[in-house]
């Protein structure tokens, strides 16, 4: 038998092996992605997570799980320090078990991160309000604790299905549902890295409550990385309140000649509001508004 014939036989046997399973079994009450079309992920951290995955050149291996996520094939999704577990219904009667691991930060590293966060009121206020500021990624990276994986090898991926591709569609569906879980609860991302919401916020409250207003003259401990709004007042000497009352409303640093402008995409409002109800147009209305916004945003339309 020729090598070419042998190759055709192997391909045929592989196709027959997967064809026997057919389409996935329908699931009642599965976790269905909120996004019905287009990109998944609304917050900067969920979009950043998916951007990182797509940067690993996974091709269609990642996108083919999107239909599984939108069809509600993921039956359960749990996030724990260092590991995400899921149950995904495929074509077999028994659902597949999915495991995605990412190393949690050691306790000593988390302690240093919490100290850095507590020293800057900007981060403490945003986190205590339930938000993750975009500058958080920079602070974590400066501390040697990147929020997102830098290489595919950092992610451990395992699925009980017979597909040898990594990620398979069941893993890919879990990634998309995980991104939406980050949208619903931004602290799920930090929990995956080893710190739960309650633990982190409790530590910030304690450290903010016991922090001294002025540091000692000792230079033994390095300054925390400065990010966010703290940059505008970094390096300014402390001034007693009585000496600063007369210029309380004066800016600590010179203001720019022109006020800054917020540059956003024309579809920001649509992404924030989500899909309208079918009674007022449903997804079709979103598409019409999206085209109208794009048209209004063109220079010749103003």
Report the number of distinct structural domains present in the chain.
Answer: 1
pLDDT number for residue 244 = 61
* Positive or negative: CA dihedral 214, 217, 223, 224: negative
Residue 258, class by beta-carbon neighbours within 10 Å (0-12 exposed, 13-18 middle, 19+ buried)?
exposed
Is the residue at 28 inside a domain? Answer: yes
pLDDT number for residue 247 = 64
Is the residue at 228 inside a domain? Answer: no
The helix-helix angle for 44-54 and 169-184 (nearest 10°) equals 160
Is the residue at 257 inside a domain? Answer: no
pLDDT number for residue 89 = 94
Is the residue at 225 inside a domain? Answer: no
Is the residue at 105 inside a domain? Answer: yes
Candidates 203, 221, 226; CA nearest to 111 is: 203
Q: What is the pTM of this model?
A: 0.62
Is the residue at 37 inside a domain? Answer: yes
pLDDT in single tens digits along all 302 residues of the chain: 444 444 444 444 444 444 445 678 888 878 888 776 767 878 888 989 988 888 876 667 677 788 899 989 999 999 999 999 999 998 888 999 999 999 999 999 999 999 999 888 888 888 888 888 888 999 999 999 999 998 889 999 999 999 888 889 999 999 999 999 998 898 999 999 999 999 999 998 888 876 543 344 444 555 555 555 555 445 555 656 566 656 666 666 665 565 555 455 666 666 656 667 777 776 677 777 877 877 777 766 55
Is the residue at 27 inside a domain? Answer: yes
Is the residue at 156 inside a domain? Answer: yes
pLDDT number for residue 263 = 52
pLDDT number for residue 218 = 46
Residue 133: give the domain boundaries.
20-210
pLDDT number for residue 294 = 76
- How many whole angstroms separate alpha carbon 53 and alpha carbon 92? 27
């Amino acid at each position: 038998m020729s090598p070419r014939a042998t190759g055709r036989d192997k391909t045929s046997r592989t196709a027959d092996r997967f064809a026997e399973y057919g389409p996935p079994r329908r699931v009642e009450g599965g976790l269905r992605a909120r996004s019905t079309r287009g990109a998944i992920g609304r917050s900067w951290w969920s979009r950043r997570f998916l951007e990182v995955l797509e940067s690993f050149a996974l091709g269609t291996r990642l996108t083919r799980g999107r239909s599984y996520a939108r069809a509600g094939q993921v039956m359960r999704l749990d996030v724990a320090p260092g590991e995400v577990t899921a149950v995904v219904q495929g074509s077999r009667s028994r659902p597949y078990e999915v495991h995605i691991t990412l190393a949690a930060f050691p306790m000593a590293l988390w302690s240093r991160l919490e100290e850095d966060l507590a020293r800057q009121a900007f981060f403490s206020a945003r986190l205590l309000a339930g938000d993750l500021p975009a500058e958080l990624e920079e602070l974590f990276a400066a501390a040697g604790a990147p929020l997102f994986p830098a290489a595919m090898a950092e992610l451990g991926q395992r699925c009980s299905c017979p597909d040898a591709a990594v990620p398979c569609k069941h893993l890919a569906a879990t990634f998309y549902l995980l991104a939406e879980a980050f949208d619903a609860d931004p602290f799920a991302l930090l929990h995956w890295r080893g710190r739960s919401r309650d633990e982190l916020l409790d530590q910030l409250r304690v450290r903010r409550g016991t922090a001294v207003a002025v540091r000692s003259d000792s230079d033994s401990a390095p300054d925390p990385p400065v990010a966010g709004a703290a940059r505008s007042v970094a390096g300014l000497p402390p001034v007693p309140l009585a000496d600063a009352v007369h210029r309380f409303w004066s800016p600590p640093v010179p203001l720019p000649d022109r006020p800054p402008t917020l540059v956003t995409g024309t579809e920001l409002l649509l992404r924030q509001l989500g899909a309208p109800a079918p009674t007022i147009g449903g997804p079709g209305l979103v598409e019409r508004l999206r085209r109208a916004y794009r048209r209004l945003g063109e220079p010749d339309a103003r």
